[in-house]
Amino acid sequence: MKFTFVIPSREFLASAGARIRYLRMVTLMEEAGHTLDLVPIADFGNLRDPGEVVVFSKCFDARAIVFAAQCQAQNRLVGVDLFDDYFSQSNDSRMTMYRTWLAQMLDRAHLAICSTPRMAELVASLRPQIPVHVFNDPASDLRLNAMPELLAGKREQALQERRIKLGWFGIGDNPFFSVGLEDLTAFGARFACLATRGWTIDCTVLTNARALDADRLAAIGNLPFRVQVELWTEKAETELLLDSFCCFLPVNAQPFSIAKSLNRAISALTAGCQVVWAGYPLYNRIDDLLYADPAELVNDLEQGTLRLSARSLGRYAQLMEELASIEVEVTRLLTFVEGLGRPAASEGGKVRALVHGHQTVGDAHKAARKLGILSVATPFAPPTLTYDVIFTGHPADGGLLMLIAEPVRERLLPDTSVPIRFFGEINKTRYVAVDWPQDTPLAMKDWSSASLPDLLAAYRGIFPAVHRRLEAVFGPVEMMISESSKLPFDPGASA
Amino acid sequence: MTARAQAVFLVNLVQDVNILRPLIVMAQRDFAMDVRVLVSGAFEGRDISGIWRRELAEIAAETRARLDQFRSEFEALALLDGHGVIFAASESHLRGHATCHDVFRVAPASYLRVTLQHGFECVGFRHSGAHKLAHGSTASFAADIVCAWFATEHIDAISAAQRGKLVVTGPSAVLQQFREPLPQDASRPGLVCENLHSVRLNAAGDMKAEFVDVFSAFCKAVDDGTRTPAVCLRPHPGGQYMLRNKVPLPDNVTVENAPMYRLDMRRFAYGISAPSSVLLDMVLAGIPTAVWRDGAGLMDTDNYADLPGVSSLADWVAFARKAQEDPASFASGREAFLARFGLVIDPADVHARYSRIFDMTLRHAPRLAATRTVSGIVAVAPPATD
């Protein structure tokens, strides 16, 4: 089988998410006689044959919807890979764009791949009919042979220096949610009790530069132990984990955080670090190897009964095999996909239209037109693109004026009876206007100068009106919506 | 062995250089400290003409100070790699002072943080009516010590909870006054300073246009046709309103943009300015000094009530004439102005007051240094890649 995973950009491959999840998958797929290509979405339109299975990963704009529709029409298996929960916060208007995107992707998907059971539950709650597979983030190296010596060395050094080398690593912030460094500073005081027992805590934090603003740095400065802050690189992470005795992995209980994978705990354990967690019990599937209480960690350290030790390596190997083995994960994924069979042939016959909302993506417009999909402007859409159909405010009565570009006129239903007249040129393209006999809904005199609250209020109602009119002149229409605005423009296609 | 105690100076606004310079000199000359000057990334953009970069380079060369640039709090923190004292001239919780405020917030406990009053009417110290409208009646600081220019009973704009931070030191400017005898010069021009960018001129009405109009008319009125410069215009170092807005200047006007410590104000026959700290510089230079007041009287000039006011063209011309004919008659107003707020202006006294801060830092240096091994935050930034 040929798989294509569509990714946001080439740079994405350098991120921890892509590195852990995809890069090793490529080799193993090939060994199993399949092929897997990681293709930036900007290049997807030029692919001659994306293969039988096309999975979209983190491509949160209308290009993914257009390509998913195209792949569906070509009877390919379409999937989405979901590993961040930007979707379940249904009362959070900042996430509208993501919910709009996911709903449309799931409507065209034959399968979903999720990084955690929690994400799988989310998909099941939105579209119970879609088969979902949990693909655990694999470990890069289990270090089974090196582990006894690594663990013994770390323990000996800690006892000798009476010092806990504590590590915290990862993305320290998020544009929407309180995460990362804020979890560290919220829960960090748990280690204060060790000082009274004569232990020194030496903490190193590896994170992204954007997260290191004054608020977070000041909060880190108030932790009851010394903290050295450095910028994250893959190399620095490996060195930190091999050097640290323990990693601290606090997690808060918001939906975004509890949908996270085990990958940070796995990375820490496989480098011979003890792990102390705090907050939400995200890591309960590997609970036997972890600590919730730093005092207990130190007790075990002093008594030689650490949870991750030469004695527990059997359990460690078993858990890693179950939850973090790339070989196992790839085999399970292949079994899952093979079990799905070929997708049913798509209905066909419908005219497909990409309808642009308040903010759109120029490349989605181009991709749509290249695939013969109508590119349709709502009155909210930016005027810079050359659309096939434009809906705009009627200058006379504020009704919805429909303009059709001359070149797509030939696609109108032969028996359409609506009166059509020449309108004029827009962006050097000739348009005809459709005059509807009774056309007064959604009246807004001047869309270009309407205030934001007026636009937000009018937004949702436009799409059924546009859909009705498109179907009246083109026949049955499959509508896709392009909305990339960070404002809560909600077309009602919510997941 | 513990490293030498550092004296760190944060430079963010161009006018910070003038305030900090005397203390940079003191730190090196009188206390032999390891002098560091941390310049914000935004400073370069503000220094349109490049004057201030050259000044900083010269100050650093004279004091053997290390000059570093920081573009984020993280980079600043990485540069704060020792112990000692940090001075900032523009630090408060207000947005315009966020750069230094945020560095103070993240600075390790091994540094004593000191904020300097940087103007006569200054946020967090004493607010004019316009300051109150723009920023509220009080401001607060992230510093441990806040250095004021005048008696604390006249400091009414510091948040009540922070009054304990106040120390009266006097303005650092008196440590860099001109002392050498002034050559006798028959024709001494007048000095007019503009700070039209200031929040004081935004309170109400079209004060900027009013000032520009009366200034132009005044220059024309004092034009004797000899093309000898009659008026010297000094734009605010940070604002530069007249130059940025390309206001046409009459032929008998010269523009002076040199730092205050290079401008001997004693060579001017008189000085006129809208309410601004430059009025204090004029008073300290001992020249007849007048405050420009808008015609409608909307601007709050109460803090300068002891100095003569000028509004109309006739006022300007009459003041200039009297200043040239009878300069001694303005001395009593200047003295009243200085006395009213208990301004500390004796250079020896001011030097002694700042010395106490350096002395204290050095006395406690071992304890400050020790905090680094116990707790707090240390940053390791990658080397700059310019």
| Residues A21 and A62 both lie in one domain | yes
Does B128 share its domain with B195? Answer: no
Task: State whether A170 and A85 are in the same domain.
Answer: no
Does the residue B34 lie in any domain?
A: yes
Per-residue confidence band for B205, with pLDDT thresholds at 50, 70 and 90: low
Q: Are B12 and B92 in contact (CB under 8 A)?
A: no
**pLDDT of res. A397:** 66
SS3 of residue A54 by DSSP: strand
Q: How far apart are CA B291 and CA B128, in angstroms?
A: 14
Which two tokens mark A481?
């919506």
Please check whether residues B207 and B349 belong to one and the same domain: no
Q: Which amino acid is at B5?
A: A
Is B382 among the domain residues? no
Structure confidence at residue A149 as a pLDDT band (50, 70, 90)? very high
In the 8-state DSSP scheme, what is residue A22? I
Is B178 inside any structural domain?
A: no
Same domain for A315 and A200? yes
Does a structural domain hold residue B293? yes
Do both B123 and B220 map to the same domain? no
Judge if B101 and B228 occupy the same domain.
no
- Which residues make beta-bridge pairs with A40? A7
Same-domain check for residues A155 and A298: yes
Q: Sorting pLDDT into bands at 50, 70 and 90, what band is A125?
A: very high
Read off the CATH number of the domain in which B10 is found. 3.40.50.620
> Is B72 at the interface with chain A, CB within 8 A?
yes
> Beta strand pairing status for A35-40 and A53-57?
unpaired
- B370 in reach of chain A (CB within 8 A): no
B375·A223 Cβ contact <8 A = yes
**Residue A230 belongs to domain with CATH number:** 3.40.50.2000
| A229–B378 C-beta distance less than 8 A | yes
- Does the beta carbon of B108 lie under 8 angstroms from any beta carbon of chain A? yes
Chain B environment of A218 (Cβ under 8 Å): 105-106
CA dihedral A304, A308, A312, A316 (to 10 degrees): 180
User: pLDDT-derived band of residue A495, with 50, 70 and 90 as boundaries?
Assistant: very low
Subunit contact A227:B373, Cβ cutoff 8 A: no
The residue from A282, A311, A340 where one domain ends is A340
A225–B74 C-beta distance less than 8 A: no
Q: How far is A206 from chain B (nearest CA, A)?
A: 10
Pick A416 or A434 by higher pLDDT: A434
Instruction: Supply the range of the domain harboring residue A188.
Output: 147-319
In terms of CA atoms, which chain A residue is nearest residue B102? A214
Determine the Cα–Cα distance for residues A279 and A103; give it in Å rounded to an integer. 31
CB proximity B110 to A under 8 Å: no
pLDDT, residue A493, reads 66
Could you give the CA distance from residue B88 to residue B104 in angstroms, rounded to a whole number? 9
Residue A412 identity (one-letter amino acid)? L
Q: What is the Cα–Cα distance from B231 to B253, expressed in whole angstroms?
A: 5
DSSP conformation class of A350: P
Q: Report pLDDT digits (tens) over B290-318.
A: 999 998 888 888 999 999 999 999 999 99
* A371 and A398 assigned to the same domain: yes
Q: Is A212 in contact with B74 (Cβ distance < 8 A)?
A: yes
CB-based contact B196:B239 (threshold 8 Å)? yes
**For residue A396, what pLDDT band results from cuts at 50, 70 and 90?**
low
Contact residues on chain A for B101, CB-CB shorter than 8 A? 214
- The candidate with the shortest Cα–Cα distance to A181, out of A137, A139, A227, is A227
Q: Give CA–CA dist A42/A51, Å, rounded.
A: 17
Cα(A264)–Cα(B309) distance, rounded to whole angstroms?
Answer: 69
Query: Within this chain, do residues A201 and A131 fall inside the same structural domain, yes or no?
Result: no
**Average per-residue pLDDT in chain A?**
93
Q: What pLDDT score does B30 carry?
A: 97
Domain that holds residue B309: 190-340
A102 within a domain of the structure (yes/no) = yes
Do A267 and A161 belong together in one domain? Answer: yes
Q: Are residues B17 and B138 in the same domain?
A: yes
Return the biggest CA–CA distance within chain B.
Answer: 72
Determine which of A56-65, A202-211, A412-421, B90-99 has the lowest per-residue pLDDT on average.
Answer: A412-421
Number of domains in chain A: 3
Average pLDDT on A316-328 reads 95
Alpha-carbon distances of A491 from A451, A481, B80, B117, rounded to whole Å: 18, 8, 51, 54
Pick B376's closest partner by Cβ from A209, A226, A230. Answer: A226
Residues A99 and A170 in one domain: no
Cβ–Cβ gap B377/A209 under 8 Å:
no
Rg, Å, chain B Cα set: 22
- In the 8-state DSSP scheme, what is residue B92? S
Nearest to B73 among A214, A223, A231 (CB): A214
Identify whether residues B329 and B215 lie together within a single domain: yes
- Judging contacts by C-beta atoms under 8 Å, the chain A residues touching residue B109 are 221
Chain A contact probe: residue of B12, B105, B373, B375 with most A CBs at under 10 A? B375
Q: What is the pLDDT of residue B173?
A: 93
Q: Please give the single-letter amino acid code of residue A218.
A: A
B382 to chain A: nearest residue by CA? A231
- Residue B75 at interface with chain A, using a CB cutoff of 8 Å: no
pLDDT, position A19? 74
**CATH number, position B248:** 3.40.50.2000
- Domain boundary (A282, A310, A340) is at A340
- pLDDT of A232 reads 94
- Closest Cα in chain A, distance from residue B301 (Å): 37
Element (H, E) at B113: strand B111-116
DSSP-derived secondary structure for B332-364: HHHHHHHHHTT----HHHHHHHHHHHHHHHHHT
Domain membership of residue B88 (yes or no) is yes
A355 and A453 share one domain: yes
Q: Are strands A226-231 and A200-207 parallel, antiparallel or unpaired?
A: parallel
Q: How far apart are CA B14 and CA B46, in angstroms?
A: 7
Distance from CA of A235 to the nearest CA of B (A): 14
Full DSSP string of A354-400: EEE-SS--HHHHHHHHHTTPEEEE-TTS-TTS--SEEEEE-TTTS-E
- Tell me, yes or no, whether B336 and B348 share the same domain: no
Q: What span, in angstroms and rounded, lies between the C-alpha atoms of A456 and A467?
A: 19
- Closest B-chain CA to A208: B74
B379 touches chain A (CB under 8 A): yes
Give a yes or no: residue A492 inside a domain: no
Query: What is the structure's pLDDT at B1?
Result: 46
DSSP label of A23: I
Contact A229 B377 (CB under 8 A): yes
Whether A297 and A243 share a structural domain: yes
**B380: chain A residues, CB-CB within 8 Å:** 228-230
Q: Check whether residue B318 and residue B204 sit in a common domain.
A: yes
In this predicted structure, the answer to whether residue B88 has a pLDDT above a threshold of 90 is: yes
Question: Of A277, A308, A340, at which residue does a domain stop?
Answer: A340
DSSP 8-class letter at B289: E
With the C-alpha atoms ordered A66, A70, A72, A77, is the resulting torsion angle positive or negative? negative
* Those residues with Cβ within 8 angstroms of residue B58's Cβ, 6 or more apart along the chain or in another chain: none
Q: What average pLDDT does the segment A138-149 reach?
A: 93
Select the residue of B105, B373, B382 nearest A231 (Cβ to Cβ). B382
